[in-house]
Amino acid sequence: MQGKKKMGFLTVFGSYVLWGLLPGFWTLMAPVNSVYILAQRIIWSLVFMALYLALTRSLGEIKFAFTDKPTFWRSLASGVFITVNWGLYIYAVNSGHVLDASMGYFIQPVVVALIGFLVFRERPTRGEWLTFAFAAAGILYLLFSTGTVPTLALAIVIPFAIYGAVKKDLKLTAQTSLFMETLLMTPLALAFCWWWTARVGGFENVMGGTAFWLLPACGLVTSIPLLLFNMGVKIIPYYFTGILMYINPTLQFLVGLYMGEPLNQDRLIAFIIIWIGILFTLWDKIKLIRAEKKNGSLV
């Protein structure tokens, strides 16, 4: 594998490992309002990224991000989609729905492949079409067996899949892109923190105990994997993330079980149906990587 593509692989791989382990961190802040946690995540991410840009002397690119209209609007769209994704994800974890979040991220590669087909003109392989069919079958099984659709799972995954597509050809470095999307969401985050603090009667009523000291960490634990993801997704082929994506939901699934979240029979069957479909895509991706390696494009 070429050095640049190898680095892209490692950074995306690392981002999914960190994301997969994050439920354990968010549960430490379970007593705190989920939207407040999200707002603090945005604020502290901005602080972290501003320091990072200053230390790496990369502040100059911010001017381009504001003056180039397509770049600015895509940065704003990225901020909106990742904020929605993280808000729903934090809510899912802190309300005892880690397995729902896991299911969403198992379905995510299907959504990514569909976006690749519709936006980037990438043609799904036969294995990917089979994965689509099995994912749909898993959702339909839940619908008919329980009378419910995994709404939370779908609501978590769709914004992040769109986020990745918006970031694909953005004319910014990973660090500046992450700074911009965070900066553009910060006014809303500050406004909510002020409103919520006033509503509950002061900061001391917002949170207590060790949760206070975890606030700055919100920025670190979310900015670092996002930074790694943004660095890697622009280097490796978009389809290649289709394999790496399964690291995150697998770890989340295991964390959810470890935390004692119940896994009833219907949901387990739906998971198994989706997992079977995933095997077809994994096999296709492995064959494609082998072919590229044989041709010398991955060495």
**Alpha helix (H) ranges present in 119-258?**
126-146, 151-167, 174-199, 211-233, 241-244, 247-258
> With 90 as the cut, is the pLDDT of residue 37 above it?
no
- Among residues 98, 129, 110, 94, the alpha carbon closest in space to that of 267 is found at 98
Query: 116-129: per-residue pLDDT in tens?
Result: 777 777 777 787 78
Q: What is the pLDDT of residue 81?
A: 94
Which residue did the predictor score with more confidence, 222 or 46? Answer: 46
| From 22-36, 88-102, 223-237, 283-297, the region with the lowest mean pLDDT | 283-297
Which residue did the predictor score with more confidence, 192 or 29? Answer: 192
> With 60 as the cut, is the pLDDT of residue 297 above it?
no
Give the residue-averaged pLDDT of 18-32: 82
**How far, in Å, CA of 126 to CA of 13, rounded?**
25
Six-digit token pair at 87?
């808000």
Where residue 299 falls among pLDDT bands split at 50, 70, 90?
very low
Q: What is the pLDDT of residue 149?
A: 75
Give the residue-averaged pLDDT of 149-177: 85
Query: 1-14: per-residue pLDDT in tens?
Result: 466 777 777 888 88
Residues 6+ apart with CB under 8 A from 131: 109, 110, 113, 277, 278, 280, 281
Where residue 76 falls among pLDDT bands split at 50, 70, 90?
very high
Neighbours of 58 (CB within 10 A): 15
Q: What is the mean pLDDT of the chain?
A: 81
Length of the chain: 299
